[in-house]
Amino acid sequence: MAEDTFPGWHGTTIIGVRKGGEVVVAGDGQVSLGPTVIKGTARKVRRLSPGGFEVVAGFAGSTADAFTLLERLEKKLEATPGQLARASVELAKDWRTDKYLQKLEAMLIVTDGKELFVITGAGDVLEPEHDVAAIGSGGNYALAAARALMDSPLGAEDIARKAMSIAADICVYTNGNLTVERIGN
């Protein structure tokens, strides 16, 4: 099959919500190839503990590419313990300038419980304005839902779960099988 006609891997939804001294990263479990669900129980949210410094990361995009980026992030965190922003910027610089890394197709949401960032292959390290970040095919749906819930009495985890449920109802590449990791107070 020619590369331009290959149906491609589609979708996922990852959300990060910071509220009340806590950050939650949640991701769905669906992996699709074209119109077919290949797997419904993938884990796209992981805990990293380089040098005892705990970070939660969620990824959207190619799994192999995302794992390559997570390994690189761990190395950056080992070199700059406790400095998630610096490690994220160093990863984004490498990702943008390294000929091998430039071909990687993924995005990351990372948090240490204090800071929350989206890291992209365009060299971006973005901190969300409204304490919510979302990526993937259902990311905009989850983002809108979570932002609408931020003024409610719900905590970070409940907001993330509700937003992911809404995204799963709208985006055909997102399911309700969640992996949720909490970090912070």
CB 133 within 8 Å of CB 116: yes
DSSP H or E stretch at residue 68: helix 63-79
Assessment of whether the complete model's pTM goes beyond 0.95: no
Domain count, the chain: 1
Q: What residues make up the domain containing 110? A: 3-184
Long-range contacts of 147-150 (CB under 8 A, 24+ apart): 150/17, 150/19
Spell out the per-residue pLDDT of the chain, length 185, in tens.
344 443 444 578 999 999 999 999 999 999 888 888 999 999 999 999 877 789 999 999 888 888 888 999 999 999 998 899 999 999 999 888 887 777 778 889 999 999 999 998 888 999 999 999 999 999 999 999 999 999 999 999 999 999 999 999 999 999 999 999 999 76
Q: Domain holding 40: CATH number?
A: 3.60.20.10
State the catalytic residues.
Answer: 12
Interatomic CA distance for residues 85 and 120, integer angstroms:
14
